[in-house]
Amino acid sequence: MAERERQLTPPRGGVFVPRAQVMSADDVRRAVTRIAHEIVERNHGLDDVALVGLQTGGVLLARRLASALEDIEGTVVPLGTIDVAFYRDDIGIRPVLPEAVTDISFDLTGMTVVLVDDVLFTGRTVRAALNALTDYGRARAVQLAVMVDRGHRELPIRPDFVGKNLPTRRDEMVDVTPDGVSLGEMEPR
């Protein structure tokens, strides 16, 4: 999860205490490889396919997907990052600050954009990202790849590519790192 998410989840300023590891580093690697194959299959190759990672949790995953796609098809797909801080609908409800600069150096018009994030939860970040993407051009299609879908959607958004479906309670936290995926709680420091 992104560091900011960690800071904002109650109790504020708490620490993440993992309770169970749900995916190992190998599981994550295999899921990345499988999602890469699914992306190639769904789009009949990689013509006009671009990856955009959501700051900050989706950026590393997008990079890993890009290199997996290169291994499979020998094609280097355009890779961008996007920060949705200015598009959130909870500005004024919780502190929203940009975490990193958006970097999309290619024209999205006519592309099939695969949005990449680590955890799909309420869907509000993805909603914000969809709005942000339209400011960079008119993508032909937008697809969504996530490592973990933990449920509790608040908007009609569904992922196209999922590493793992993970039933959770609302107050649990999911932590995605290159070393694996853990489920746990935030505890007061």
Partner 1 sequence: MTAPFQHLLTVADLGADGIAEVLRVTDSFVEVSERAIPRVPALRGKTVVSLFFEDSTRTRLSFETAAKRLSADTMTFSASTSSVKKGESLRDTVETITAMGVDAIVVRHRSAGVPWQVARWTDAAVINAGDGWHEHPTQALLDCYTIRQTRGGTGSDDVEKLFHGLRVAIVGDVAHSRVARSNVLALAALGAEVTLVAPPTLLPASLAGWPVAVSHDLDAVLPEVDVAYLLRIQQERSSEALLPSLREYTAGYGLTRDRARLLRPDAMVMHPGPMNRGVEIAAEVADLPCSVVTRQVANGVAVRMAVLFLLLGSRAALES
Q: Is 178 in the site for partner 1 (CB under 8 A)?
A: no
CB of 102 vs partner 1, minimal distance in Å: 5
H helix or E strand, kind and range, residue 181: strand 180-187
Longest dimension (CA), the chain: 49
Q: Is 97 in the site for partner 1 (CB under 8 A)?
A: yes
CB of 122 vs partner 1, minimal distance in Å: 17
In the 8-state DSSP scheme, what is residue 4? H
User: With respect to partner 1, which residue has the nearer C-beta, 128 or 186?
Assistant: 128
Q: Which residue has the tokens 């879908």?
A: 149
Out of 87, 118, 125, 143, point to the residue binding partner 1 (CB under 8 A): 87
CA 108 vs CA 11, 45, 114, 124: distances in Å: 39, 18, 11, 22
Only segment of 14-22, 66-74, 91-99, 145-153 that touches partner 1 (CB under 8 A)? 91-99
**How far is C-alpha 124 from the chain's CA centre?**
12
CB of 92 vs partner 1, minimal distance in Å: 4
Question: What is the C-alpha separation between 84 and 2, in angstroms, rounded?
Answer: 13
Tell me, residue by residue from 113 to 132, as one string, x for binding to partner 1 by CB under 8 A and - for no binding.
------------------xx
- Total residues at the site for partner 1 (CB under 8 A)? 21
Footprint on residues 64-83 left by partner 1 (CB under 8 A) = 83
Residue 92 makes CB contacts below 8 A (sequence gap 6+) with: none
Footprint on residues 128-157 left by partner 1 (CB under 8 A) = 131-132, 135-137
Q: Is 20 in the site for partner 1 (CB under 8 A)?
A: no
Q: Is 11 in the site for partner 1 (CB under 8 A)?
A: no
Q: Which residue has the tokens 């994030």?
A: 117
Q: Is 6 in the site for partner 1 (CB under 8 A)?
A: no
Q: Which of 69, 70, 144, 134 is nearest to 107 (CA)?
A: 134
Question: What is the C-alpha separation between 120 and 151, in angstroms, rounded?
Answer: 7
**Under the rule (CB under 8 A), what is the footprint of partner 1?**
83, 85-87, 91-98, 100-103, 131-132, 135-137
